[in-house]
Amino acid sequence: MKVSGAKIVVEVLVEQGCDTVFGYPGGQVIDLFDELYLSRDRIKQILTADEQGAAHAADGFARATGKVGVCIATSGPGATNLVTGIATAGLDSVPLVAVTGNVSCDLIGRDSFQEVDIVGITMPVTKHNFIVKDIRELADTLRTAFKIAKSGRPGPVLVDIPKDVQQAVWDFEPKPDPVRPYPLSFASEIKLRKAAELINNSKRPYIYFGGGVISGKASAEIIKLADRIDAPLGSSLMGLSAVPADHPRFLGMSGMHGHYASSQAQKEADLVIAMGARFSDRSTEIGGERSYRLIHIDIDNAELDKNVISDIAIQGDIKDALYRLLPMLSETSRPEWSERITQLREKEAELLEREKHTRLPKNCGGCTVNCGRADMPESEKLAPYDIIDTISSFASENDIIVTDVGQHQMWTAQRYPFKKPRTFLTSGGLGTMGFGLGAAIGASSATGRRTILFTGDGSFGMDLNELATSVSQNTPLVIVVMNNGVLGMVRQMQTLFHGERYSNTTLCRKTDFVKVAEAFGAKGGRANNLDELSALAEEAFAYSGTYLIDCMIDCNEMVAFSDEA
Amino acid sequence: MRNDQYVIGVIVSNVSGVLSRVSGMFTRRGFNIDCLTVGETESPEFSRITVAFHGDDDIRNKILKQLEKLHDVKEVEVLDQKDTVIRELLLIKVRNSPNTRQDIMTAVEIFRSKIVDYSPTALICELTGETSKIDAFIELMKPYGIMEMCRTGIVAIERGNSCLKTSR
């Protein structure tokens, strides 16, 4: 069958199981979008407000489902707008295929209109990338892109297709099935035995897991492990939602802004069993002296002994490794350790209660708006945890929680009662402000489920153009803006480490997010206190489309550190 | 921290951009390269890259693992320097004058170098050998006036039967 390159792209996308693409048209992808138009009954096309939004949406689509997300952009600025989204997906191991158009092969290298070397630009932020200059290689290159994206530790792959290759005509041979990932690597038996010996001999084991447990579908196995060896569970930011937040063994996120009990238990443990986590610089005690021994299991060999040196490093699929490890472990109870964990939990509750009654410092740092929020009695203020509790009381356990980046992200991570894997989508590695709205749209379009976006006035200012998309897609979306008028995360560091010099973190802009929402065709309302929030939440959760709640909070609110709870 | 030199052989797909990917990994991860050479292998599908770098075992392991992750990298191996033939090629242009000519000729002979171009004012010597030999020769030429020089960086191949071949 002789068809155009553009048609080949569409046929391979369908063949690979892609049912939705996010993108933005342009001069060098006209042919591709023409074919997409003709195939609109087979592939849903979501036009975003800009290409960054498309990349985040494809990312959210992939995070919510585990499938490969696909985004399409034109050459030049279209392609460069994808870069942040691709890097975001890369650092959080999200399977993504980004397709870009480029100028025709004979114009490449001549600084043609809207020409950039996107393959060169994205080389360090993709798992792999391609430019296809020969139509004969187009179909197989796209198939390989999907294969790489979903194999082993998933990641983003970019395929750059010059316009003349989209227009060229060549034979296309359809394949009946999507490509299979490369074979998984499996843990070595000897190392598993050594690990079992360490675990059986440990007095205070602690299980630390990351996002790899979600992509490796090993939630049930880590709970079995915890039960069998009577150990607490803690996670990285990316690991959240892998086990129910209210699971009796789960102590919550550990690390810089993690739960006190979780981080403390990790410090006091004599053995940490880490799985699908890469010990980023935000995790507990990175770089410091540690008193525990470490078993590290990961699908990516390069993560082992990269940031922390382990005692036993095991490369392999986590689900398989645990399945084989469990029978080697003696069923033990560790009453002393359990007792200590209980104490730590009690201490955490105590610290949390104490913090509630600590008056926030009053410092509006040169803000001229004089919102008066800092002077309000504490009891009348809208507190971040109360916002999260109220919203979660309206939400169902299938709703997908998405965040942007900043204080609201950490509050959500600390507080939200996640129940099921893939219901918490956040930019953990790259920390991309402006990730949230695009990702929420992608997640909702993939699953048809309601999505809740927790964001801040800083982050939301970076992605609010995607309101246009969520309204036109009629996305069931509740946007909760924790509006403190400042860039809170940076501001809190300025409070603590930079002598309260609030350089460029005081926004206090005149932007009215409720009117913004309405202007885009969404609904919205402002909450100054809990009663108003409840009333708005009721309306928001009854509404089928996009609803924004602008929550006014004190700019002096801080995210707790794990060492002080 | 130990700081040894390691030489690794890398078999990669012979496709455009592969050198950027390999050298880019070093830049991105903050590893320093002493030298890097690349050329086609006996099978035109693959190229062979030889990289030398300084570091300890930990850095060496990290480099190996990161290289193995690259899609275009098919095989990576640390070459045991005791059991490996390592060579570098030097072309060096030295000032030619009646007073120094004889001394240069003597050095060329002792080092088993070759004079490959000769003019009344300049001559070019070609030398192959291990890095230390090349360094010594350059040192020796300095007083005579080095006009320009270039060296290839090392290529290396293991002695005996064992070969760096792709199994993928």
Please answer whether residues A355 and A385 qualify as being in contact, where contact means their C-beta atoms are separated by less than 8 angstroms.
no
Answer whether residue A383 shows pLDDT above 90.
yes
CA dihedral (A494, A439, A281, A236) positive or negative: positive
In this structure, what token pair is assigned to residue A518? 């309405």
Which residues of chain A make contact with B28, given a CB cutoff of 8 A? 124
- What percent of chain A has pLDDT above 70? 97
Active site residue A497: no
Q: How confident is the model at residue A287 (pLDDT cuts 50, 70, 90)?
A: low
Strand partners, A57: none
* Confidence (pLDDT) at A14: 98
Q: Stretch A507-513: mean pLDDT, rounded?
A: 90
For A43, which DSSP code?
S
Active site residue A51: yes
Please answer whether residues B90 and B151 qualify as being in contact, where contact means their C-beta atoms are separated by less than 8 angstroms.
yes
* Confidence (pLDDT) at A385: 95
Q: Within chain A, which residue ranges are assigned CATH 3.40.50.1220?
A: 189-347
Q: Do A148 and B71 touch (CB under 8 A)?
A: yes
Query: Strand ranges (DSSP E) for A241-320?
Result: 250-253, 271-275, 293-298, 312-315
Pairing of strands A233-235, A156-162: unpaired
Strand partners, B148: B93
Answer whether residue A451 shows pLDDT above 70.
yes
Which residues of chain A make contact with B58, given a CB cutoff of 8 A? 305, 309
Strand partners, B90: B127, B151
Q: Taking an 8 Å Cβ-Cβ cutoff, which residues of chain A contact chain B?
A: 119-120, 123-124, 127-128, 131, 148, 300-302, 304-306, 309
Active site residue A16: no
Shortest CA distance from A148: residue in chain B: B71
Answer whether residue A112 shows pLDDT above 80.
yes
Answer whether residue A564 shows pLDDT above 70.
no
Active site residue A163: yes
A32 to A25, A57, A139, A170, B83: CA distances (angstroms): 9, 19, 14, 15, 55
Q: Within chain A, which residue ranges are assigned CATH 3.40.50.970?
A: 2-171, 359-552
Q: Stretch A260-265: mean pLDDT, rounded?
A: 94
Pairing of strands A477-483, A523-527: unpaired
Name, in order, each residue with C-beta under 8 angstroms of A484's C-beta and a sequence gap of 6 or more: A407, A456, A457, A552, A553, A554, A555, A557
Tens digit of pLDDT for each residue in A219-259? 999 999 999 999 999 999 999 999 999 999 999 999 989 99
**Domains (range + CATH), chain B:** 4-79 (3.30.70.260), 85-155 (3.30.70.1150)
Return the SS3 of B88: strand
Query: Strand ranges (DSSP E) for A76-142?
Result: 96-102, 128-131
Is CATH 3.40.50.970 what the domain over A359-552 is classified as, yes or no? Answer: yes
Q: How confident is the model at residue A63 (pLDDT cuts 50, 70, 90)?
A: very high
**Dist CA B156 CA B137 (whole Å):** 20
Look over chain A and give the mean of its residue pLDDT values, rounded to a whole number: 95
Q: Do A302 and B24 touch (CB under 8 A)?
A: no
**Dist CA A413 CA A407 (whole Å):** 10
Shortest CA distance from A144: residue in chain B: B71
* Confidence (pLDDT) at B1: 66
Q: Can you tell me the ipTM of this complex?
A: 0.91
Closest CA to A311 of A264, A263, A271: A271
Tens digit of pLDDT for each residue in A11-46? 999 999 999 999 999 999 999 999 999 999 999 999
Mean pLDDT by 10 residues, chain B (168 residues): 89 95 95 94 94 94 97 95 94 95 95 96 96 96 96 94 76
Please answer whether residues A74 and A43 qualify as being in contact, where contact means their C-beta atoms are separated by less than 8 angstroms.
no
**Dist CA A178 CA A15 (whole Å):** 6
- What percent of chain A has pLDDT above 90? 88
Measured from the Cβ of residue A469, the count of other Cβ atoms closer than 10 Å reads 25
CATH superfamily of A2-171: Thiamin diphosphate (ThDP)-binding fold, Pyr/PP domains (3.40.50.970)
**Dist CA B16 CA B27 (whole Å):** 19
Answer whether residue A160 shows pLDDT above 70.
yes
CA dihedral (A307, A313, A317, A319) positive or negative: negative
Q: Taking an 8 Å Cβ-Cβ cutoff, which residues of chain B contact chain A?
A: 17, 20-21, 24, 28, 58, 61-62, 65-66, 68-72
Answer whether residue A171 shows pLDDT above 60.
yes
For A564, which DSSP code?
T
Task: Identify the active-site residue in A45, A114, A347, A539.
Answer: A114
Q: Do B61 and A302 touch (CB under 8 A)?
A: no
Report field, pTM of the whole predicted structure over 0.90? yes
Q: How confident is the model at residue A288 (pLDDT cuts 50, 70, 90)?
A: low
Size of interface A-B (CB pairs under 8 A): 31
Active site residue A306: no
How big is the CA angle at A231 (ends A225 and A236), to the nearest 5 degrees?
A: 85
Q: DSSP readout, A146-215?
A: HHHHHSSS--EEEEEEEHHHHH-EEE----SSPPPPPPPP---HHHHHHHHHHHHH-SSEEEEE-THHHH
Just give the CATH number of A189-347. Answer: 3.40.50.1220
* Confidence (pLDDT) at A280: 87
- Please tell me which of the candidates B68, B70, B72 has its beta carbon nearest to residue A301: B68
- Please tell me which of the candidates B24, B65, B72 has its beta carbon nearest to residue A302: B65
Please answer whether residues A284 and A265 qualify as being in contact, where contact means their C-beta atoms are separated by less than 8 angstroms.
no
Sequence length of chain B is: 168
* Confidence (pLDDT) at A565: 40
CA atoms within 13 A on the CB side of A14: 17
Q: How confident is the model at residue A365 (pLDDT cuts 50, 70, 90)?
A: low
* Confidence (pLDDT) at A561: 83
Please answer whether residues A160 and A119 qualify as being in contact, where contact means their C-beta atoms are separated by less than 8 angstroms.
yes
Q: Do A123 and B24 touch (CB under 8 A)?
A: yes
